[in-house]
Amino acid sequence: MPSRTLQILPPGFIPPYLLSRLAEHASASISARAVNTLTIDREHRALRGFVPPKLASGTASTTAARPRPARPNSPERAIHDAARTTTLPGKLVRTEGKPATGDIAADEAYDYLGATWRLYHDVYERDSIDGASMPLTGSVHYGKDYDNAFWNGEQMVFGDGDGEVMNRFTIAVDIIGHELTHGVIDHEAGLVYQGQPGALNESICDVFGVLVKQHSLRQTAQQADWLVGAGLFMPSVKAKALRSMAEPGTAYDDPVIGKDPQPAHMKDFVTTSQDNGGVHINSGIPNRAFYLVAMAIGGQAWETAGRVWYDAVCDKRLRQDADFEAFATLSTDVASRRFGAGSAVHKAVADAWLAVGVISP
C-alpha cells in the first residue's frame, strides 16, 4: 500500500499572521471576530489529519499518463447556506443548472466554482478537481462574521467577512480558484505544507487563482492586474488586494492590517517559524517568477506559462518536499519538452527563475 504523508493543512485564504494582527491591533469588535476565525481555523485543521496524498515516489498519478474518461461538458455544482453556523454543508439553495437565488454570496459561489472548473476543463482537459468528475460543493454564510474561506478536502467554505476590514469571501473569483487549486495539488503533487514546499503550494494556488480570473475575463497578461483577492478588503483599508504577483510586498500598507511582508527575490527570503515556515510570505518569490514568465511571453497566460506550471504540478518527478529550485528545474525542463529547447517559452521560464534568484547564473 502506498505510504501516506501527514500534511499540515492550509489554514484558509487569509494567513494566520494577518488574523493575529487584527486580533492585536483592531477595534474590540474586529479583534473578537479575528480571534473567533483563528479558533475555527484551528478546529477545522484538527478535524482532518490527512489530505488526499500523492502516492509514493515513482507511483504518482499524472494527468498526461492516466487514461481519461469522457469529460462532461459542465460541472456538478451544489451551493448550501450554512446560515451563520459552522455546521456543514447547510441548507441546499442551488444546484447545477438552476436559476440564480438572489443571494449574492450563493450566486457568486456558483458562478466562480464554474469559472474554476472551466479553466481546468477547457484549457488543461482536467475532469474537475480530482481529475475524476468530483462534484463542486460550496457553503456560504459560514460562521458569524467569519474572516476566511477554505477548502476542507471535500468542499469550499466561505465566510461573510466582518464588514469593516474584510468583505464577503465570494467577492473575488481568484479566491475560489486559489482554494480549489489546493484540491488539485492534494490529488497531484501533494506538496508538504511547510517551508519552501508549502510556499510553493501557496504560490501555485495564486497562479491558478489569477489564471481563473484572467480566463473568465479573457485578459492577456498585459491587461491583467496580477492581484490576488482584489475587492476583499473594505474601502477604508489601505490595500489593493491580499497579494500582488507583479510586485510582492506592495499589496497593502495599513495601520490595522500592517504591511505586506512578501519578498520578491531570494535575497530577501524570510526565515521564520510562523506561518508554517513562511508559506504565505515566501510564496511571493515564485509568484514573481510566474508573472515574469507570463509577461515575457505575452498573450493569454493560461495557454503558455499556465500550461508549463500545470504540467509541472502533474509531473511524477515533482516530489512532495520540492523546494523552489526543484520546481524551477522541473518547470524549465517541462517548458523545453512542450515548447522546444531554446523556444521563447523555455527561455522565459529559465530567465524568470534566474531573475528572482532561485537559479544562479
Tell me which amino acid residue 33 is: R
* Strand residues in 208-353 grouped as ranges (E): 227-228, 243-244, 253-254, 258-259
- Residue pair 143/112 in contact (Cβ under 8 Å)? The answer is no
Grid cell locating 172: 473575488
Q: Are strands 136-140 and 77-81 parallel, antiparallel or unpaired?
A: parallel
Q: Nearest CA to 357 among 248, 284, 266, 270?
A: 266
The beta-carbon contacts of 243-250 under 8 Å, at least 24 apart in sequence, are 243/206, 243/283, 243/284, 243/287, 245/206, 245/207, 245/210, 245/287, 245/288, 245/290, 245/291, 246/288, 246/291, 248/284, 248/285, 248/287, 248/288, 249/284
DSSP state at residue 63: T
- Residue pair 197/323 in contact (Cβ under 8 Å)? The answer is yes
**Exactly one of 179, 188, 202, 247 is catalytic; which is it?**
179
Rounded CA-CA distance 140/254 in Å is 28
**Exactly one of 141, 178, 187, 280 is catalytic; which is it?**
280
179 in catalytic set: yes
Rounded CA-CA distance 247/284 in Å is 8
Grid cell locating 70: 469522457
Q: Which residues are catalytic?
A: 179, 280
